[in-house]
């Protein structure tokens, strides 16, 4: 099979799986089954026809509205689908069909679902992060990025560093800054990416989170600390950034100091 066709199939597979992730993002925090009942409009409960459930296309054909009632369909649906498709395709370009490809497929899927659940509920479900920690560690035995000791150390650094920061923050500000969910997510990221990856993720996500926070604050003219911003989406973005460009960015950064 030609490579472009395989790439296209991986992209389509990502779109379809993204459609399923939307269901998980809706139902998992509510404790509902992700398998049953079949997709329906959350407002009028009308089951979706198969042709109203095609990734991306249906959203635009229906112009972002339910066929049976005036309920608007969240833009999150096509967004998650396209993000999943693009990330899967990019991983295929990077790794081909190798164990690392399948491992990273699981990793970015977890990051994506966790980011959107955190965005909507301010919670990171243990049901995703804890199995993610185990999967990341187990995968290190079959993949090339990390040895199992590197994965283990990454896991501990991810869990430990943020635990320490959370305690320090609590002590200084007398309020919870980072939730326990963020700490478990970072342990998962450490298990998949190792120590350098997890430290990079913390720095990159803090930077992005700070910029976003300042911009939001200026726009809403509110005082610092009054707007709640979930940290999970930034951690996910930081980890994905490292997955694709981490080494290149680190090499460039080190080159600034150690160039001949």
Residues that bind Zn ion (CB under 5 A): 41, 43-44, 66, 68-69, 71
CB of 17 to Zn ion, least distance (A): 24
- Cα 23 to Cα 116: distance, rounded to the nearest angstrom: 11
Least separation, in Å, of the C-beta of 62 and Zn ion?
10
Residue 155 C-beta: closest distance to Zn ion, Å = 43
Of the candidates 148, 240, 137, which has an alpha carbon nearest to the alpha carbon of residue 188?
Answer: 137
Q: Which one, 28 or 66, has the nearer CB to Zn ion?
A: 66
DSSP state of 2: -
Cβ-contact 64, 73 below 8 angstroms = yes
Residues 6+ positions from 128 with CB-CB distance below 8 Å: 28, 110, 113, 114, 117
With beta carbons less than 8 A apart as the criterion, state whether 55 and 18 touch: yes
Contacts of 38 (CB under 8 A, 6+ apart): 47, 48
Contact 119, 233 (CB under 8 A): yes
Least Å distance, CB 164 to Zn ion, is: 48
Of the candidates 157, 138, 84, 159, the residue with the CA atom closest to the CA atom of residue 115: 84
What are the beta bridge partners of residue 72? 65
Q: How far is the CB of 49 from Zn ion (least distance, A)?
A: 12
C-beta closer to Zn ion: residue 67 or 145: 67
Least spacing, CB of residue 236 vs Zn ion, in Å: 30
Give me Rg for the CA atoms of the chain: 20
């Amino acid at each position: 099979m030609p490579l472009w066709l395989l790439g296209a199939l991986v992209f389509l597979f990502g779109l379809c799986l993204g459609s399923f992730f939307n269901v998980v993002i809706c139902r998992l925090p509510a404790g509902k089954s992700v398998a049953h009942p079949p997709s329906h409009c959350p407002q009028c409960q009308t089951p979706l026809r198969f042709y109203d459930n095609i990734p991306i296309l249906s959203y635009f054909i229906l112009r972002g509205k339910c066929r049976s009632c005036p309920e608007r369909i969240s833009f999150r649906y096509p967004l998650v689908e396209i993000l999943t498709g693009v990330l899967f395709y990019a991983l295929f370009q990077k790794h081909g069909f190798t164990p690392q490809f399948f491992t990273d497929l699981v990793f970015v899927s977890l990051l994506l679902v966790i980011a959107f659940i955190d965005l909507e509920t301010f919670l990171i479900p243990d049901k995703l992060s804890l199995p993610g920690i185990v999967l990341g560690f187990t995968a290190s035995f079959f993949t090339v990025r990390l040895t199992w000791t590197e994965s283990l150390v990454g896991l501990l650094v991810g869990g430990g560093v943020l635990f320490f920061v959370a305690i320090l923050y609590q002590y200084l500000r007398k309020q919870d800054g980072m939730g326990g969910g963020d700490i478990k997510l970072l342990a998962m990221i450490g298990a998949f990416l190792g120590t350098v990856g997890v430290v990079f993720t913390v720095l990159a996500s803090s930077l992005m989170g700070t910029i976003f926070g300042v911009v939001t604050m200026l726009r809403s003219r509110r005082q610092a600390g009054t707007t709640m911003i979930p940290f999970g989406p930034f951690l996910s973005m930081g980890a994905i950034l490292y997955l694709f460009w981490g080494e290149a960015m680190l090499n460039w950064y080190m080159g600034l100091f150690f160039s001949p």
